Amino acid sequence: MRNVHPDADGVFRVVAQQKNGSVPIGASLTATEDARSWLSPSGDFAFGFQRIRGKDNYVLSIWYDKIPDKTIIWYPQGNPMVSRGSKVELINGRGLVLSDPQGTDIWISSPISNLAYAVMNDTGNFELFDSDSRKIWESFSFPADTMLPTQIMKRGGVINSQKSETNFTGGRFQLRLLPDGNLVLNSRDIRSNYPNTAYYISGTYDPSNSTNSGDQLMFDATGYMYILRRNGQRFDLTPNDALPSGDYYHRATLNFDGVFAQYYHPKNSAGNTSWSVPWLVPGNICRDIVGERGSGACGFNNVCSLNGASRPNCECPPGLPLLDPSDPYGDCKLNFTPSCNEDEPYYKEDLDFMEFTDVDWPGTGTTYVIIDSINTQECKDSCLHDCSCAMAIHDGDKCHKKRLPLSNGWTNESLSLKAFLKYRKGELPRVSFPQFPGKKKNQKTLITIISALLGSSVFVNVIFIGVICLGFFLNYQRKAKNHYPNTKSVNTNLPHFTYRELVEATNVFKEELGKGAFGIVYKDERPSWKKRRHLALGIAKGLAYLHEECSTQIIHCDIKPQNILLDEYYNAKISDFGLAKLLIRNQSRTNTGIRGTKGYVAPEWFRNTPVTTKVDVYSFGVLILEIISCRKSVKENESGNDYGAILTDWAWDCYEERILDTLVGNDLEALDDYKNLTTFVMVGLWCVQENPSLRPTMRNVIQMLDGVVEVSEPPCPFPLSVTIS
C-alpha cells in the first residue's frame, strides 16, 4: 500500500508502507532530525539518512537499527554527506536518486528503464529489481568501508576508508584484492587515487602455480572471513574458534585510521554492549606502514603511537600545531621552512633544534643523505649548515638528514636514537619539549629532583628559591624590553616580521594596494602554482561550509580577493561578512538589493530576481580565474585595446582556443601541471555561467578540484553576449 503526502514545498509524493522490506517506485525519504527509514523485514538493518555527530549534515546510509550506536555499514561513494532537506527517491528510468534541497542531483545508483521496486534485506544488502523480479543493482556490489556476511570481493575489488570518524568522503586507506590474488592494505594519494606501498600483504599469490593464488575474498554466513584460492582451497583470515557461538552481528571494516578489523556484537544485548574484535591487520600500523610515499598512519610531521586496542593515536610534536584542529590524525604544520633561495639567506646563529628521543620519522622518501661514522654533535652541525636539512636523526653512528614534510612518524620506548628538528629562534617558545612517549618517565624524574631538593639542607633550598626568583625577574625584564613603551602587553599568536623581511617580501615596498586606518597594504612576490591551487581549494571549502554546513545557511555576497585572508601557510580565511545574507531554515533563495563589488557580481543581481548561494559561486568563479592568471577581474588597458580587459571573457577565449599558456603568462610550473590547470580553468568557467542553474554547488566545485568528479566541457558562460555580437 502507498499513501500520498505533501512535502514542505507543496509537492505530493509517495510515502511507502513497507512490507517485507519492499520499497515501491516513487517512495522517498528526506534528511531531517526525525527522518523515517526503510527497514529490513527483521528490523535489523535500516536504509535512510543519519545525522553526522556534531554537525548539521546527514549521510545517506545503511546501518544496524537495533544497536544503540546505529553503526553505519554502507554509504554511496563520492557524495555521501548532504545538508538538511536533501532527498532520496526511487524513480523509474533513473534508479535510486539522491538530490540536494534545491533539487540538484548529487548521486544516482544507475539508470534503470524498467525499475519496479527495491528491497532492504536482512543481510544488509539494498537491492533494486526490474519488472521481472531480476536484481539489477545492489549495495553489496558497491561497498563503502565495510563488508558483511555473504558479501564477496572479487579480484580487482577495492574498498576505501572514511576520511575521519565524522567525514564519510573517501579517506587515505584502501583494501584491495589484487589481480594476482594478494589481499593488500595500502595508503593512497586521495587526489589521484594512486596507491602507495602496501603495508599488509596476505601472501596468497603463488608465481609458480597460479591455481594456488587467491581468487575471492569471502565472508561467509557464519562470520568467518577467508581468501578462496583458484583451486578451491581456503586461506583463513579469521582465526579458528575466534568467534563465539550464538546470535551475533558480524562486520569487517577498514577504519579511517588504516586498520582492517573484524567485529562481532550480540544481537539481543542489554545496554550499550560494544563491538568485540577477534582479529585485525596490521598488528602495529605505526611501524608496518613505513614506505617511500605517503605520510604514514598519521599525517605529515605527526607522530603515531599504538594504543591498547592496537589502533593508532596521533600527536603533533610540541610547538607544531595541527593544520586542521578538527583532525588529530592529519598534518602538523611547521613554523619554519628552511630555504635554499639565494635571495633569502638564513643565518645559523638564528637557528636552533628541538630534540626528541624515542621518536623516528623513517620515511625513506624524505631522507636525502645518510652519513656514516658520525657522532651526535657532528650530525647536528651537518644539518645546521645545510639549508635543505629540516631534521637530523642520529641512530648509532649514522646521521639521516631529512627534508620536509616528515613522514611515517612513530614512537616507541625501544628506539635508541635522537631526532633534531631545526627551527628559527623566536618562532617557537623556549620551553622544554617533552619526550615521546615517556612523559610519565619525565614526570617521575622531575618529582625525584624536587624531592631531593626539598630533602636537602635549608641553605640549599634558599639558594634554589633565589635562583627561581632571579629567573622570573630576568624573564620579566626581557619581556618588558620586547614591547613598545607606554602600551599594554597583549598575548597573541600572530607572527612577527623584521623590517628586513618586509622589505624583501614587498620588493622594497614597490607596489601599494591601498590604505586603511591601520596603515598601508603592499603587494607580495606572484605565489607558486602549488600555493595557488591550495588557496583556491581552501576558499572553496570555506564557501561550502557557509552554504551547506552551517546551522544557518549564509550567502556571503561579497567574495573578492580583498576579503580573503591568508595565514603563513596560505590557508584561506573568508572575512568581512558585512554584506552577508542569512537564510532561514528551508529557505533556498532571498530577495535583497544589489550587493557585492564590481567585477565579481553575478548577473542575477541586476534582474530583480531572488538570489541564491549561486551568487557566491559566480564570485568564486571570477576569483579562481584571478588566482590562475594572477591578474585582476577587470584590467585597465592603457593602449586602448579592450581585448582581454574582462577576465571572464579572456579566460573563455584562451580556453576555447586552447592557449592556456597565454592565460597563465607562460607560468612553467602551472604548464607542467597541465591537467590540473585545465581542470581549474574549466571549473572557473562553469562557476561564471550566466544561468545560475548551470553553476555547480561549492561542494561539487571541491569534488571537481580534488579530482573526485570528472569535469565536463563548459559551455560559453555568456551565450547572450555572444549572440548579440
**CA distances in angstroms from 450 to 282, 438, 461, 462, 464, listed in the order given:** 43, 19, 10, 14, 10
Which of residues 441, 476, 504 is at a domain's end?
441
> Domain count of the chain?
5
For residue 441, the model assigns a pLDDT of 41
Q: Are residues 610 and 648 in the same domain?
A: yes
Q: What is the CA radius of gyration of the chain?
A: 30
Could you tell me if residue 679 is inside a domain?
A: yes
Q: Are residues 416 and 554 in the same domain?
A: no
Q: Are residues 556 and 510 in the same domain?
A: no
Question: The domain spanning residue 38 has which CATH number?
Answer: 2.90.10.10
Q: Are residues 537 and 678 in the same domain?
A: yes
Q: Are residues 109 and 162 in the same domain?
A: no
Distinct helix (H) and strand (E) counts, the chain: 13, 42
**Residue among 212, 189, 220 nearest 123 (CA):** 220
Residue with cell 607542467: 672
Q: Are residues 643 and 631 in the same domain?
A: yes
Could you tell me if residue 337 is inside a domain?
A: yes
- Give dist(CA 618, CA 129) in Å, integer: 41
Clarify whether 558 is annotated catalytic. yes
Q: pLDDT by residue (tens digit) across 35-67?
A: 899 999 999 999 999 998 878 889 999 999 999
What does 667-699 look like in DSSP terms, one character per residue? Answer: -HHHHHTHHHHHHHHHHHHHHT-SSGGGSPPHH
Q: Are residues 634 and 709 in the same domain?
A: yes
186 in Cβ contact with 196 (< 8 Å) = yes
Q: Are residues 273 and 201 in the same domain?
A: yes
Q: pLDDT by residue (tens digit) across 555-583?
A: 888 899 888 888 766 788 888 887 777 76
Average pLDDT, the chain: 80
Choose the catalytic residue: 358, 360, 558, 616: 558
Q: Are residues 112 and 17 in the same domain?
A: yes
401 in Cβ contact with 386 (< 8 Å) = yes
Q: Are residues 165 and 74 in the same domain?
A: no
Could you tell me if residue 304 is inside a domain?
A: no
Which of residues 141, 168, 189 is at a domain's end?
141
Could you tell me if residue 242 is inside a domain?
A: yes
Could you tell me if residue 633 is inside a domain?
A: yes
Could you tell me if residue 448 is inside a domain?
A: no
Which of residues 115, 141, 167 is at a domain's end?
141
Instruction: Say yes or no to pLDDT of 467 above 60.
Output: no
First to last CA, the chain: 58
- Give dist(CA 210, CA 523) in Å, integer: 64
Domain extent at residue 271: 151-282
For residue 26, the model assigns a pLDDT of 94
Q: pLDDT by residue (tens digit) across 330-365?
A: 888 876 555 554 444 455 667 888 888 888 888 777
For residue 543, the model assigns a pLDDT of 92
Question: The domain spanning residue 600 has which CATH number?
Answer: 1.10.510.10
- Give dist(CA 69, CA 434) in Å, integer: 37
How sure is the predictor about 458, in pLDDT bands with cuts at 50, 70 and 90?
very low
Indicate the range of 170-174, 349-353, 444-448, 517-521 predicted with least confidence.
Answer: 444-448
Q: Are residues 541 and 586 in the same domain?
A: yes
Could you tell me if residue 386 is inside a domain?
A: yes
Q: Are residues 535 and 519 in the same domain?
A: no
